[in-house]
Amino acid sequence: MSWVTKTLSSTLGKKLLMALTGLFLILFLVVHLIGNLQLLLPDNGESFNLYAESMATNPLIKVVSIGNFAFIILHVIYSILLTRHNKKSRPIGYAETAASTNSAWSSRNMGILGTLILIFLLVHLKGFYYEIKFGEVPMVDYAGIMYKNVFAIVAAAYSNVFYVVFYVISMGFLGFHLSHGFASAFQTLGLNHVKYSPLIQKVGIGFSILIPALFALIPIVMYIQSV
Amino acid sequence: MILDSKIPAGPLAEKWTKHKFNSKLVNPANKRKYEVIVVGTGLAGASAAASLAELGYNVKAFTFHDSPRRAHSIAAQGGINAAKNYQNDGDSVFRLFYDTIKGGDYRAREANVYRLAEVSVKIIDQCVAQGVPFAREYGGLLANRSFGGAQVSRTFYARGQTGQQLLLGAYSALSRQVANGKVKLYPRSEMMDVVMIDGHARGIVTRNLITGAVESHSAHAVLLCTGGYGNVFYLSTNAMGSNVTAAWRAHKRGAYFANPCFTQIHPTCIPVSGDHQSKLTLMSESLRNDGRVWVPATKETAEKLRKGQINVNDIKEEDRDYFLERKYPSFGNLVPRDVASRNAKYVCDEGRGVNETGEAVFLDFRDAIKRDGKSTIESKYGNLFDMYKQITGEDPYQVPMMIYPAVHYTMGGLWVDYNLMTTIPGLYALGEANFSDHGANRLGASALMQGLADGYFVIPYTIGDYLASTPPKPVDTTHPEFQKAATEVKNRVDQLLKINGKKSVDYFHKKLGKIMWNECGMARTAEGLKKAKAEIKQLKKDFWSDVKVLGTNEELNLSLEKAHRVADFIELGELMIDDALNRDESCGGHFREEFQTPEGEALRDDENFAYVAAWKYMGENQEEELYKEPLVFENVKLTQRSYK
Amino acid sequence: MQLTLKIWRQKNASDKGGFVTYPVSDVSKDMSFLEMLDVLNENLTEKGEDPVHFDHDCREGICGTCSLYINGKPHGPLQTTTCQLHMRSFSDGQTITIEPWRAKAFPIVKDLVVNRSAFDRIIQAGGYVSVGTGGVPDANEIPIPKTIADLAMDAAQCIGCGACVAACKNASAMLFTSAKVSQLALLPQGQVERKTRAEKMVAQMDAEGFGACTNTGACEAECPKGISITNIARMNREYFSAVVSSENV
């Protein structure tokens, strides 16, 4: 084995990949949210549709989005590898545990939270990404140029109360996942310091509340607008 | 046989240097042909095993623990002495030597003690190089604290866990040699006998504590680094597993046992709380730097306190008797351990003891907290205070600690010469297992020093002298002597398992402990000792006819392990009593009530008892024979110890 | 006090094992937890039953020999060792479940006794400064800032009991390993072998079959010596910088 593969197959190496991909996905969330918030602009979706068009055509974005998918897949694969390894490390469990007294629930259930988020992601991709890319999308005319009316697809989806509820609950899972994942990634990278770690903790908590809440706000508002 | 201590001639300060030069050497290519067995992996054992392996010898290290790091050296709290004179307060090798000889009440060998003081400075260098995180000053240099029996600050420490850090240092050196393949570790293996071939120690027989297998291991020399025998008292500050078995089996094979009655009773332990008590916990002597020892001035006040009618913090200053400061103004609370312990006993005997049992005195930090602030005290003793609170449920920041003396260390042990060799050629004893350096009383922070001195800096030189004259031919474990020893061990196991009596092993251990504590503890009388001897003889009979050991040999069997150990403790107890009876004087930890000054201090008899009492085993149920090694003092004047 | 003990009994490594329930009475609040087990064992011996085997030695909270997973927590309800746990932490009539440490790397020997020699092998992989006896500089020739010495001491306090592994949902030994890596990485004495040490100790830790770290912090919360998980971050840092910069290919 070369030193690279040896490192990446060590427990620390696997954790390093989890942390790096996690941090990238955190960044992606921010970018994605900024784009999505345009759904709430009172312009019948014009800015959002223009934004969607630019996303679909910009070559840089294309590269990044391939990277994004790759990181999601890596994050998932390595979580499975780590979980399997960890399960093997304790073949016989305890009859009684009081884990709640020594650690946060979310930190102990990152795998479950991640799986739920993955399910959401698949539904989300099927509903929007796939539809927009390969489905039949109505067109809209802005200043003589025809654009895909992505906004219409989103608005249609968010008029379905079940979809909205599913979306909001999933953002809850995301929040819990982030509440541990954010600071944990820094800890894994070894970025722990008396001066900065408390700040990272706080930012992590703030992030894990704010970002999912804003994501959840979009379907709620659009649902209310639809009725 | 005349005991030859092999002390080199010449001026005190040159003895060790000269001796090292005169010792034979084993050439590097030959060292790898020799095997050395080290039993025990505490400070002495781990440091010896590591140092010998570094030299090139093949070492086999045995411990009954699951890991070498568990040895009881780890529990030493306060610190380690070294004559570095970093504090510029007048310390020197000679002063450390003098303090140790005087502290030991002039019952130790001058040459050994001087060597100990001499190598003490190298120990600190060695430990620092290993990464032991000693306490430091803001300038980055090493910090010191003062300890009982000394007027200079020469004690190096790592919070209240000095023993732990030193042991982990030695353990790391040992681990390095295990990784190098020069040391083979045998954890959970208990030494059951020494194997002698042609009068030399050539191996040991062990019992694998997990499988019960009796195994033979050969070597060209055997080092016993197996600690002290304080658990003969049942209640002591020793770990539950600490035992005399290895030393005792060696004794039965011909190693003389020296000064067995010299036991140290440590003044600052947490008092006994009830019959269920399994062991006593020491509070580091360093606490006496800032804590003040006192009891109520009158019996009446003490009685009210015991009944809970008054609160300790309400007792006025004039109603408190700081008895150590009163009796010993120049050393105050820092008098040596034996003096502090005995005085605590006196005030409690007068009825002024303070807890429910009346067997406790206060160690009070009120004034220190007022003077230095709580945070300073916390940084110095925080972990000790926490430990006290956990055990007693009381907060020593609010109410004074309660302490009482408890058995802590045994100065006696296997007799060794200047080379640390016992009376069996090829068999060495290091650390607390030997008798050599502390006389009748050990000064605080000197046990760690001795363990490491023996292991790092003495045995690597002295063992060469013996091995150089031993052919490097491998010793064969198929030799009939190995078979014989192994059979004896197996028979003994069978015998213990067969008795199937009514009383548990602990029952006998507790009973032995009571006899020893009452009659051979802090104060002894000829009458009491004679009574105790008869009781122990009876106890031994009862043990071998009525003990109940469950289970089989072929498994992890704690009661069987313990039965072996207690059987040996009972025999040792009898020898301790013989020794205490023989020594018609008081010195250090050995206090015979018949021999005291009008002020109640120990009264030595230098004319008749300035000797090491070495006992030779004469056979089952036979009286042991006494051999005397006269102690010659050329560099210190024998005086009545005074700490006033 | 009267208590009901539910204790894991297992004759040897290959036995399947199971819980056995024992009532104990006459327990005093001043007893330590192990003294309470002593009482149980004396009773069992009297009845001719095999006493419960558990590891213990110093009973002062420093040797790290005692273990026991008590009511779902390593070393029981307080952040201390089992030997320093006293019965005043329990209430009359309570049922107490006692299990051995559970980890692949800590196989059970008998009842509550496990084999923790994996820890020794991790130290043997590099938890030392390679200096032989003698020939070292004077102790004061290596000045160390007090804050650094204190941090090193914080890490060096580890007693190797394995509570971190027992508490961790992944049976990870990161806290144990990182405490030693940290201590020696902080001190000037440890610099020479700094990179190799981090690489080797992590490799050994993995080879022993311990789990990975999820940063739950359970190890720190349960460590009787309060070893901080900042040490784990430091070890990660040490390891990553070692693998990219060391000469070990």
Q: Tell me: the pLDDT tens digits for B64-91?
A: 999 999 999 999 988 999 999 999 999 9
What pLDDT score does B187 carry? 98
Considering C110, C138, C170, which residue would you say is the last residue of a domain?
C110
Whether residues C79 and C144 share a domain: the answer is no
pTM: 0.96
Among C58, C85, C110, the domain-final residue is: C110
DSSP state of B619: S
**Per the CB < 8 Å rule, is C86 touching B50?**
no
pLDDT category at C97 given cuts 50, 70, 90 is: very high
B 507-536: CB under 8 A from C: none
Q: pLDDT at position A2, please?
A: 87
Residues of C in contact with B127 (CB under 8 A): 139
Q: Does residue B149 have a pLDDT over 90?
A: no
Residue-wise pLDDT for A34-54, tens only, equals 999 999 999 999 999 999 999
Decide yes or no: CATH 1.20.58.100 for domain B482-605: yes
Place of tokens 């509903």: A127
Both C136 and C233 in a single domain?
Answer: yes
The residue in chain C having the minimum alpha-carbon distance to the alpha carbon of residue A184 is C215
Pair (C138, C206) in one structural domain: yes
Euclidean distance between CA atoms B588 and B580, whole angstroms: 12
Q: Is residue C121 located within the same domain as residue C241?
A: yes
Q: Do C42 and B161 touch (CB under 8 A)?
A: no
**Strand (E) or helix (H) holding B245:** helix B245-252
The pLDDT of residue B380: 82
B160 pLDDT more than 90: no
DSSP state of C32: B
Q: Give Cα separations from B122 to B456, B583, C218 (angstroms).
A: 9, 36, 41
C236 to A89: CB separation less than 8 angstroms, yes or no: no
Give residue A111's pLDDT: 96
B221-224/B35-39 β-pairing: parallel
- pLDDT at B1 > cutoff 70: no
Whether A95 has its CB under 8 Å from any CB of chain C: the answer is yes
Percent of chain C with pLDDT over 70: 100
Our measurement of the distance from residue C92's CA atom to the centroid of its chain's CA atoms, rounded to an integer in Å, reads 29
Contact B179 C34 (CB under 8 A): no
Non-local CB neighbours of B617 within 8 Å, separated by 6+ positions: B251, B252, B254, B257, B624
Let me know whether C123 and C238 are in one domain. yes
Residue B303 has pLDDT above 90, yes or no: yes
pLDDT higher than 80, residue B589: yes
Burial of A136 (0-12, 13-18, 19+ CB in 10 A): exposed
- Average pLDDT value for residue range A171-180: 98
Cβ neighbours for C53, distance < 8 A, ≥ 6 positions apart: B556, B558, C109, C110, C111, C112, C113
Q: For chains A and C, what is the number of CB pairs under 8 angstroms?
A: 139
Q: Residue C82: which domain range?
A: 3-110
Question: Does the pLDDT of residue C39 top 80, yes or no?
Answer: yes
Cβ separation A94–C249 shorter than 8 A: no
Same domain, C161 and C98: no
CATH, residue C152:
1.10.1060.10
> B249 an active-site residue?
no
Percent of chain B at pLDDT above 90?
A: 91
Question: C122 and C104 share a domain?
Answer: no
Considering the domain architecture, whether residues C89 and C129 belong to the same structural domain is answered as no
Report residue A58's pLDDT band, with 50, 70 and 90 as the boundaries: very high
Closest CA in chain C for residue B119: C134
Closest CA relative to residue A171, chosen from A32, A19, A14, A16: A32
Exposed, middle or buried by CB within 10 Å (0-12, 13-18, 19+), for C17?
Answer: middle
pLDDT classification of A148: cutoffs 50, 70, 90 = very high
Per-residue pLDDT, B381: 86
Contacts of C11 in chain B (CB under 8 A): 555
Q: Average pLDDT of A134-158?
A: 93
The overall average pLDDT reported for chain A is: 95
DSSP secondary structure string for all residues of B548-613: ---S-SSS--HHHHHHHHHHHHHHHHHHHHHHHHH--S-BTTB-BTTSB-TTS-B---HHHH-EEE
Mutation target for B interface from C58, C88, C154: give the one with most B CBs within 10 A.
C58
**What sign has the CA pseudo-torsion A41, A45, A50, A52?**
positive
Partners of chain C (3+ Cβ pairs below 8 A):
A, B
Same-domain pairing of C149 and C81? no
Which domains are delineated in chain A?
A: 3-226 (1.20.1300.10)
User: Which residues of chain C lie closer than 8 angstroms to B168, CB-CB?
Assistant: 156
Tokens of A14: 């696997």
| pLDDT value of residue B640 | 81
Reported ipTM exceeds the 0.95 cut:
yes
Contact (CB<8Å) C127/B173: no
A13, A15, A103 member nearest C216 (Cβ)? A103
Q: What share of chain C in percent tops pLDDT 90?
A: 99
A interface test, pick of C73, C215, C222 with most A CB neighbours within 10 Å: C215
> CB contact, 8 Å: B66 with chain C?
yes
The CATH number of the domain holding residue C81 is: 3.10.20.30
Give the residue-averaged pLDDT of A113-121: 97
Average pLDDT of chain B to the nearest whole number: 95
Tokens 């609370």 map to which residue? B333
- Option in A95, A101, A187 nearest C233 (CB): A187
Q: Are A158 and A222 in contact (CB under 8 A)?
A: yes
Chain C hits for B239, Cβ within 8 Å: 57-59, 63
* Chain B residues near residue C127 by CB distance under 8 angstroms: 172, 175
What number is the average pLDDT over the span C90-111?
98
User: Environment class of residue A170 by beta-carbon count within 10 Å: exposed (0-12), middle (13-18) or buried (19+)?
Assistant: buried
Total domains present in chain C: 2
C126 and C97, same structural domain? no
pLDDT of residue B641 exceeding 80, the answer is: no
Gap between the Cα atoms of C243 and C248, Å rounded: 8
Q: Does position B614 have pLDDT exceeding 70, yes or no?
A: yes
Shared-domain flag, residues C105 and C127: no
> CATH for B266-407?
3.90.700.10
Distance in angstroms (rounded) separating the CA atoms of residues A127 and A120: 10
C125 and C51 both lie in a single domain: no
In this structure, of B244-258, B628-642, C91-105, C109-123, the range with the lowest mean pLDDT score is B628-642
Tell me what the mean pLDDT of segment B362-369 comes to.
Answer: 96
Q: What angle do CA B580, B585, B589 make, to 5 degrees?
A: 65
Q: What is the pLDDT of residues B177-235, one digit of tens each?
A: 999 999 999 999 999 999 999 999 999 999 999 999 999 999 999 999 999 999 999 99
Quote the minimal CA–CA distance from A206 to chain C in Å.
Answer: 19
**How many CB pairs lie under 8 A apart between chains B and C?**
219
Distance, CA of C105 to CA of A84 (rounded, Å)? 16
Q: A108 to chain C: which residues are within 8 Å by CB?
A: 169, 214, 216
Among the listed residues C123, C116, C195, the one whose alpha carbon sits nearest the alpha carbon of residue B179: C123
Catalytic residue among B109, B159, B249, B337: B337
